[in-house]
A and B are shown apart, each in its own frame.
Chain A
């Protein structure tokens, strides 16, 4: 029985311990990885010119963010990069960062960073904790950073609110906001949650608000992961409705009739035709509101996002990143011309085409602009919907696959106007139709724009100057037909 003898002092008890440990580690690794994957860290940035959300990366046990992504929506930026340094210019502010060094030079002054600067695929990552030091140097404006909830306020931007329960029967909670808001709303037994990602909402005097009502006794304010949340507690199911251009949210017990309906926002607007999306598991639950949001003139959709990278434009350039940068710049240009604009995505998130169409149709906008980018050819291509063979529309309900059919004429008006503006600026332009979703599911004027690189090459596709030229052309083209589009609706 020599083979059963313990060897080298390793007894059977210790062997079993090793085996059990290996099994536990093997089981725990996937569990830990899956937990981490579902909890993407985000930072929200609020400024006078743009509100947006970015992904946060973990490096060396610290939280990092892409500095260029933060500054791009706030003004003209350019970078020069080599192995030894990463130089960023924002407006007239020059800065230099050295990879793996915890020191930066901005406007000629040196600053210590709370962690090493990281250079990854041309992207400059800075520790999150350094933002309250770095950003004022670039922007020349005060910055307030709530690091625990990752919410960054640039300048004096804020949205305040007051809440009170009225004495009607049944009572309702009326919340007045200092600016229009468009939260994501979710309900669960005993609670209605409103999540504000794009609004610089600031907390009331107390985190818990109490009301003299048995039906709506209290509400709680909390902040986490780049968002503010107001949770309204109630003993009955609640329904939220918007008024006063999105400045007032009234939360009241849901009538029995409305509780029985399961179709989201579009059906709550019987005045206009509604395209009913095909049933999809989980579709739209995280991006659409339970109540109709404020109306925007334009909806701008940066195609792709998240795990769906789109075309690989170069070794380092993904279509999803280029379209997001274009979309943010286009929003600025449209709003500078007085055209209120909503972005379908303002961060690196994955959305289905159904979600994009539902969000667009629920926004009741006048024009939908979908942005794509390509490494093939030069200039810009404009696309209107090539409608597939679809079913018939019935009464106010439009067939989902051909919902665009009633708006094709106005889409072509936009296309012609944009082509004129591009030609004025000597950008090569071509107008076509394309079998491209969600154009055919959108119930308003809808156009897709595929931006190719300028003649100088693919690298300049992401340059601020080129993006500015394209965005200005689009915004001017939309502005030129604003009245026609308004009349068509």
Chain B
């Protein structure tokens, strides 16, 4: 025979559990399902004179890189210039009529310029984790980032890509990012892709 007080306690707990479940279900329905567009960190606007630069933009439909001129505000520091260049490129890829869509929360954390001639591009993990997998689609992204840097920031000989500050074997299962890219080889690749 179960004591009465124990039966009451179990019934109350059961009722509370049901109540909490209903509350959570209703709360989840009210929360917007696509917070990404709002939670995406936005880089502060740069106050600098506008300059004309050449961006190398990937086009998936023809599997090619195309040089495209753009006017963007560019700070005087080399490192800040490099970061702004890649962010301008990313804005094209994240736009609604992107020629080479990237994950919605893809971001370039930083670009470090290390003498002599090394540029380190640090991407966020969403960039790599959500990137489409395939040899051409991955190498288009890498060639686009690297060629845009080498064309607009003089003195870069080698490029290294990190993800969240760490080394990684491939961008999305194919293109190797474990080593250093020679800018000469990147330029040759970009020429092949044009």
Chain A interface residues toward B at CB < 8 A: 2, 7-8, 304, 308, 310-312, 319, 353, 372, 374-377, 381, 383, 386-390, 401, 430, 432-437, 440, 448, 450
Contacts and interface: CB of A to CB of B under 8 A. Distances in A.
Contacts of A311: 132-134, 173
Interface stretch (B30-38, B39-47, B86-94, B175-183): B175-183
B180 A388 contact: yes
Main secondary structure of the interface of B (DSSP, over half): mixed
A149 B166 CA distance: 45
A7 B175 contact: no
B63 interface: yes
A236 B113 CA distance: 58
Given A372-B134, A435-B139, 6 more contacts: A310-B173, A311-B134, A387-B182, A434-B189, A435-B142, A436-B174
B185 A387 contact: yes
Contacts of B3: 2, 7
B67 interface: no
A383 to B, nearest CB: 6
Contacts, number: 90
B158 interface: yes
A433 B181 contact: no
Given A376-B137, A389-B181, A433 B176 contact: no
Given A311-B134, A374-B134, A304 B185 contact: no
Contacts of B17: none
Nearest to A387: B185
Interface of B: 1-3, 6, 60, 63, 132-137, 139, 142, 158, 169-170, 173-182, 185, 188-189, 192-193
A450 B180 CA distance: 24
B182 A389 contact: yes
Contacts of A388: 176, 179-182, 185
A450 B60 CA distance: 15
B160 to A, nearest CB: 9
B144 to A, nearest CB: 13
Contact of A383 (B132, B135, B158, B178): B135
Contact of A436 (B2, B60, B176, B188): B176
Contact of B173 (A308, A386, A432, A450): A308
Contacts of A312: 133
A389 B139 CA distance: 17
A375 B60 CA distance: 12
14 contacts: A2-B3, A304-B173, A311-B173, A372-B135, A377-B60, A386-B188, A388-B185, A430-B63, A432-B189, A434-B139, A435-B175, A435-B181, A437-B169, A440-B176
